């Protein structure tokens, strides 16, 4: 279903308060609610699809971290098969696949395994683009353009319609600009796992902040990037910021041990997933909370919401997502005055209703109490 103009039909729901926006679009999701996309099956994909609308997300891009190229291809096919198996109106909808690696820099590995990283040579890119199923679904590749063959890989992937992002990169400012010249159009998790901003050598962030060709992925949990710097990013380039969660299986779960690409991730009481060595490993962030966090640092709510809707939708080439206009997909979020999702629609169908969920939980608790009293 799509957005149309004109008088509302008979029986239409009329909203008299709150805020109505397009559905949120998250282009970097490694997993959630205990599910790691590196080892996903149809049941796990369905769990994520059901859970994400509670956070306002209606479309998401499953992300796979560094693995050997043949393994990454196998994992991508498993993600696509699980997505294809989703029943109608299951919840949020996957948008394809984002490969965050293995074409990264060992110097900026983060929690990715440097031993599994390879240069993006012609043969490696052939494997991705010669796989017809994967080529149609490969929406985004994060790579380090300074690696041998990096710029040629950017050109080939961009020519194939893939969004190329600079990330996990030790690129200088000059090399980052060269990546843009070759067709790169995004930066993955700005400031994290990349050559830092310097006042003489701008690194990846410095060029990204001033080069209008880049969309800036930002993890706004206020741990990956501090509040003042988040505000600085919006002051400098707010119209190009795409809020992402970089969520891992720990998102939406209690403290404990989870998986990210087959490696252990520990979620502590502070809500930040880390490797056993203490390195931040993705996030447990939800995209609605990212919006609220950005509003809390002084960004206008309209700009914060744009960065979670139209900006990421445009970045991955989805002109009917992330906007309220005739012809757009009918993905909608009705928010309360505290920017908490009240009701969410995907393709015009309700996939989350907070009031109904609370009522169902209350009935369940009452049944439990009655059973305990018998």
Residue 192 is part of a domain; what is its CATH number?
3.20.20.140
In a domain, 2, yes or no: no
The answer as to whether 136 is a domain residue is yes
Of residues 211, 246, 288, 331, which has the active-site annotation? 246
Residue 236 lies in a domain: yes
**Per the domain annotation, does 336 fall within a domain?**
no
Question: Is 41 part of a structural domain of the chain?
Answer: yes
Q: Which domain holds residue 118?
A: 24-325
- For the question of residue 130 being annotated catalytic, the response is no
DSSP string of 105-173, one letter each residue = -GGG-TTS-GGG-----HHHHHHHHS-HHHHHHEEEEEE-TTSTTHHHHHHHHHHTTPEEEE-SB---H
Residue 343 lies in a domain: no
Q: Do 154 and 187 touch, CB atoms closer than 8 A?
A: no
Burial of 246 (0-12, 13-18, 19+ CB in 10 A): buried
Q: Is the pTM of this model over 0.85?
A: yes
Question: What's the number of domains the chain is made of?
Answer: 1
Per-residue tens of pLDDT for the chain, all 374 residues? 888 888 888 888 889 899 999 999 999 999 999 999 999 999 999 999 999 999 999 999 999 999 999 999 999 999 999 999 999 999 999 999 999 999 999 999 999 999 999 999 999 999 999 999 999 999 999 999 999 999 999 999 999 999 999 999 999 999 999 999 999 999 999 999 999 999 999 999 999 999 999 999 999 999 999 999 999 999 999 999 999 999 999 999 999 999 998 889 999 888 999 999 999 999 999 999 999 999 999 999 999 999 999 999 999 999 999 999 999 999 999 999 999 999 999 999 999 999 987 665 554 555 555 555 65
**Does 5 fall in a domain?**
no
247 within some domain: yes
d(CA 343, CA 334): 5
């Amino acid at each position: 279903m799509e957005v149309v103009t004109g008088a509302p039909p008979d029986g239409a729901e009329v909203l008299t308060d709150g805020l109505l926006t397009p559905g949120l679009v998250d282009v970097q999701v490694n997993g959630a609610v205990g599910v790691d996309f590196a080892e996903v099956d149809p049941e796990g994909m369905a769990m994520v699809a059901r859970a994400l609308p509670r956070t306002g997300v209606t479309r998401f891009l499953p992300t796979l971290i560094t693995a050997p190229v043949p393994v990454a291809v196998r994992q991508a096919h498993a993600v696509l098969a699980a997505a294809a198996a989703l029943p109608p109106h299951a919840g949020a909808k996957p948008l394809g696949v984002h490969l965050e690696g293995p074409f990264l820099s060992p110097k900026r590995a983060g929690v990715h395994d440097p031993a599994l990283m390879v240069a993006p040579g012609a043969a490696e890119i052939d494997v991705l683009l010669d796989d017809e199923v994967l080529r149609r679904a490969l929406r985004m590749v994060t790579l380090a353009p300074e690696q041998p063959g990096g710029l040629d890989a950017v050109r080939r992937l961009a020519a194939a319609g893939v969004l190329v992002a600079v990330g996990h990169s030790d690129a200088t400012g000059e090399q980052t600009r060269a990546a843009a010249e070759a067709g790169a159009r995004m930066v993955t998790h700005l400031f994290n796992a990349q050559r830092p901003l310097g006042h003489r050598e701008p690194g990846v962030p410095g060029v990204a902040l001033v080069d209008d060709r880049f969309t800036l992925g930002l993890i706004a949990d206020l741990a990956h990037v501090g509040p003042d710097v988040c505000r600085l990013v919006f002051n400098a380039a707010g119209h190009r910021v795409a809020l992402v969660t970089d969520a891992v299986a720990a998102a939406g779960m209690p403290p404990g041990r989870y998986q990210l690409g087959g490696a252990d991730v520990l979620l502590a009481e502070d809500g930040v997933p880390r490797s056993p060595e203490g390195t931040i490993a993705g996030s447990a962030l939800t995209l609605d909370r990212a919006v609220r966090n950005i509003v809390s640092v002084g960004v206008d709510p309209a700009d914060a919401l744009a960065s979670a809707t139209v900006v990421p939708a445009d970045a991955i080439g989805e002109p009917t997502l992330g906007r309220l206009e005739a012809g757009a997909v009918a993905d909608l979020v009705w928010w309360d005055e505290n920017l908490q999702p009240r009701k969410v629609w995907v393709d015009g169908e309700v996939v989350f209703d907070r009031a109904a969920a609370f009522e169902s939980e209350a009935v369940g608790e009452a049944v439990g109490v009655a059973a305990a009293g018998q």
